[in-house]
Structure 1
């Protein structure tokens, strides 16, 4: 009777498959939040994280958002370094997680924060729908690309014998 076993050289990597995705998600979420904050809040001055109050409150909310984005990015990089140290890094899974985290955060921002909670808009113009469509299309594209990376990595694992059959 055939028994599924993990090849010896992969015994270290196999338990960390999900951690690759988690590290990528955290990094991607933090990175896209940082880019959002730096570009749209600081450089272009299109909005603050919280626009329903004074400019001072908006700036404080931007600072808290900026701190959150850096904590997430650094946390994801620490997890990345740990995977490297354990020789368990799988870049396809990490990149898939990064794109998935980036896209998920951006879609959450574009739908929940912009449209449902209305804490800010991308840009305060008459025809904001164009900005919303581009924002959310970009988010969905990142989610789909990340999902494709993860699907491909699972197929590659099966093809390259990550799990082998040994007779017992």
Structure 2
């Protein structure tokens, strides 16, 4: 079973990335769009367009999550699930999505802000620093498992 993990290292990573991306997008949409009403996915038009954009964003988050969990189920079935590598993928996917959202969508494209207040920089900093922390934690976990993948390939003569 241990060697099977190494055969599915990339699949564990991609399953985690898709799940992380989908979960953080779902939380963003649920908390900031629906419950707190801080913004819509697309705020440069009418409220109706904003609600439609939220719906499309919500569907995207579920497609990513479901895709990630299909890969997860396949890994479990094949006895190739590697929890630490998968968790690293989740953190990496969540962090990359959040950093992309904070830099590209909030600042470069300006399709919405985190919150419409005078001193939005505080919200931006918390958002992007949290994203960076998730990316760093994910990379650390992945580096730990990457060493094992390399060692396994060397000891198996690959």
Same fold (TM over 0.5): yes
Partner residue, 1:44: 36
Question: Partners of 1:154 and 1:22 in 2: how far apart?
Answer: 14
Runs of 4+ in 1 over 2 A off after TM superposition: 12-15, 154-158, 161-167
Among candidates 63, 66, 83, match of residue 58 of structure 2: 66
- Kindly indicate whether residue 101 of structure 2 is the aligned counterpart of residue 115 of structure 1: no
Give, in whole Å, the separation in 2 of the partners of 1:125 and 1:31.
26
Quick one: which of 86, 104, 107 aligns to 2:78? 86
> Structure 1 residues 126 and 154, CA, compared in 2 at 3 Å: closer, same or farther?
same
1:136 and 2:137 matched: no
For the pair shown, the structure with the greater C-alpha radius of gyration is 1
Corresponding position of 1:162: 152
Q: CA deviation at 1:157?
A: 4.6
Name the one with the larger strand percent.
1
Q: How far did 1:126 drift?
A: 0.3
For residues 110-164 of structure 1, what are the alpha-carbon distances to aligned partners after superposition, in whole Å with 9 as ceiling and x for unaligned? 0000000000000000000000000000000000000000011123456xx6346
Q: How many residues align?
A: 157
Task: After TM superposition, give the deviation of residue 13 of structure 1 in Å.
Answer: 3.1
In the alignment, the residues of structure 2 paired with residue 120 and residue 16 of structure 1 have an alpha-carbon distance, to the nearest angstrom, of 38
Q: Alpha carbon RMSD of aligned pairs, Å? A: 1.8
Note the C-alpha offset of 1:165: 3.9
Aligned position for 1:23 = 15
The structure whose residues are more often helix, as a share, is 2
| Separation in structure 2 between the aligned mates of residue 83 and residue 91 of structure 1, nearest angstrom | 11
Gap runs ≥5 in structure 1: 1-7
Structure 1 residues 157 and 42: alpha-carbon distance in aligned structure 2, compared to 1, 3 A threshold = same
Is the 8 Å Cα contact of residues 6 and 149 (structure 2) preserved in structure 1? no
Unaligned runs of 5+ in 2: none
